[in-house]
């Protein structure tokens, strides 16, 4: 199978073809030298790229469907974390071999993740290499000045996270556990990200562990944070663990792709009233003026050695 046939069969997803939707900003998708985008009037382009390398970002024996899903999910999650609306992705993929079963599963997983927000694959590149890897670029739109950045946190803000933390890290340590789905199928929180537009002061998605990622907000915003350990949202599985072990996973475990944002208490109340019951959110602490991250347990300062994930270890 040559490269063109491969692209045609697995990546040119006609169900989401640009021409079907006159409102789409995608004028021309896969098939020409480059794609064409007509920006909606007065919108800012949000753009991000993430690479996944086999053995580094997912275990080599991960099923192809999950790899495809994850390649899309980690990028859509970054668009969510900006408070933006995703509309298109590009994918550069390096394949050790052309395995048609693998490609079919991979592309199904990829498009399944793109479908809920009607995100289109508009281009990319396909090459051969000894190691399987893929770089996905995601594009989104946001109103000028409305993107939710890392540098907007203010003292007095609540720190809020979505869903539960530490599940993906637990699954990595316990292959085949009931939390395997949380590792293989991270859910990009696009609806939440867009809803928080106009409410949250700062936001990011948690990919390297809450403590390290929240640290990026604190540094960029020149503030500190007080976190209350008993408020960390834990799945039923993590609640069964010794509490320090569960906190360690929730604070330092990577691959959660949940959103962490800061928001004024009054605005959070209004948000919860407006979106009653639509999102699972948990307040875990407050932004404070003095720098650094402090942990609290039952109103007492608590000391814990956090094992942060480092990329170049």
Task: Establish whether 57 is an annotated binding residue.
Answer: yes
Decide: helix, strand or coil at residue 34. Answer: coil
Stretch binding Mg ion (CB under 5 A), from 45-53, 78-86, 97-105, 119-127: 119-127
Q: How far is the C-alpha of 87 from the C-alpha of 278, rounded, in Å?
A: 22
Give a three-class secondary structure readout of 105-157: HHHHHHHHHHHHHCCEEEEEEEEECCCCEEEEEEEEEECCCCCCCCCCCCCCC
Residue, CB closest to Mg ion = 125
Q: How far is the C-alpha of 251 from the C-alpha of 4, rounded, in Å?
A: 45
Please give the DSSP secondary-structure letter assigned to residue 231: G
Stretch binding ligand ADP (CB under 6 A), from 122-130, 150-158, 218-226, 251-259: 122-130
Which of Mg ion, ligand ADP, none interacts with 229 (beta carbon under 5 to 8 A by kind)?
A: none
Task: Kindly state the smallest distance separating residue 39's Cβ from Mg ion, in Å.
Answer: 24
| Residues 123-162 as x/- pattern, contact with ligand ADP by CB under 6 A | xxxx------------------------------------
- Would you say 11 or 247 has its CB closer to Mg ion? 11
Task: Kindly state the smallest distance separating residue 125's Cβ from Mg ion, in Å.
Answer: 4
- Residues with Cβ within 8 Å of 72's Cβ and at least 6 positions away in sequence, in order, are 89, 109, 110, 111, 113, 114, 119, 136, 138, 188
What kind and span of H or E run contains 295?
Answer: strand 292-297
Site for ligand ADP in 58-97 (CB under 6 A): 91, 93
Decide if residue 125 touches Mg ion (CB under 5 A).
yes
Q: Give yes or no for a contact between 184 and 169, defined as CB atoms under 8 angstroms apart.
A: no
Task: Establish whether 150 is an annotated binding residue.
Answer: yes
Decide if residue 99 touches ligand ADP (CB under 6 A).
no
Please give the DSSP secondary-structure letter assigned to residue 212: H
Q: Give yes or no for a contact between 26 and 37, defined as CB atoms under 8 angstroms apart.
A: yes
- Would you say 135 or 286 has its CB closer to ligand ADP? 135
Task: Establish whether 50 is an annotated binding residue.
Answer: yes
Task: Kindly state the smallest distance separating residue 12's Cβ from ligand ADP, in Å.
Answer: 7
Q: How far is the C-alpha of 154 from the C-alpha of 244, rounded, in Å?
A: 29
Which residues form the interface with ligand ADP (CB under 6 A)?
7, 11, 30-33, 91, 93, 121, 123-126
Residues binding Mg ion (CB under 5 A): 125
């Amino acid at each position: 199978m040559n490269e063109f046939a491969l692209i045609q069969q697995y990546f040119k997803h006609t169900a989401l073809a640009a021409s079907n939707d006159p409102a789409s900003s995608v004028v021309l998708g896969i098939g020409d030298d480059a794609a064409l985008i007509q920006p909606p009037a007065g919108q800012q382009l949000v753009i991000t790229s993430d690479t996944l390398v086999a053995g580094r970002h997912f275990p080599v024996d991960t099923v192809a469907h999950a790899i495809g899903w994850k390649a899309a999910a980690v990028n859509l999650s970054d668009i969510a974390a900006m408070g933006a609306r995703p509309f298109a992705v590009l994918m550069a993929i390096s394949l050790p071999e052309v395995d048609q079963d693998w490609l079919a599963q991979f592309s199904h997983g990829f498009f399944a993740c793109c479908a809920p927000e009607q995100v289109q694959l508009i281009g990319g590149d396909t090459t051969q290499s000894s190691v399987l890897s893929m770089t996905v670029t995601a594009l989104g739109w946001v109103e000028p000045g409305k993107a939710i950045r890392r540098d907007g946190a203010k003292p007095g803000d609540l720190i809020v996270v979505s869903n539960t933390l530490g599940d993906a890290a637990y699954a990595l340590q316990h292959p085949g556990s009931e939390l395997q789905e949380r590792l293989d199928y991270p859910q990009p929180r696009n609806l939440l990200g867009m809803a928080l537009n106009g409410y949250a002061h700062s936001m990011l998605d948690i990919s390297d562990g809450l403590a390290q990622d929240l640290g990026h907000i604190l540094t960029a915003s020149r503030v500190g944070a007080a976190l209350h350990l008993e408020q960390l949202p834990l799945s039923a599985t993590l609640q069964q663990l010794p509490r320090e072990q569960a906190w360690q996973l929730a604070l330092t475990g990577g691959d959660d792709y949940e959103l962490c944002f800061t928001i004024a208490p009054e605005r959070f109340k209004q948000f919860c009233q407006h979106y009653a019951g639509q999102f699972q959110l948990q307040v875990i602490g407050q932004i404070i003026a003095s720098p650094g991250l402090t942990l609290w347990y039952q109103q007492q300062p608590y000391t814990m050695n956090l094992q942060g994930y480092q990329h170049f270890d």
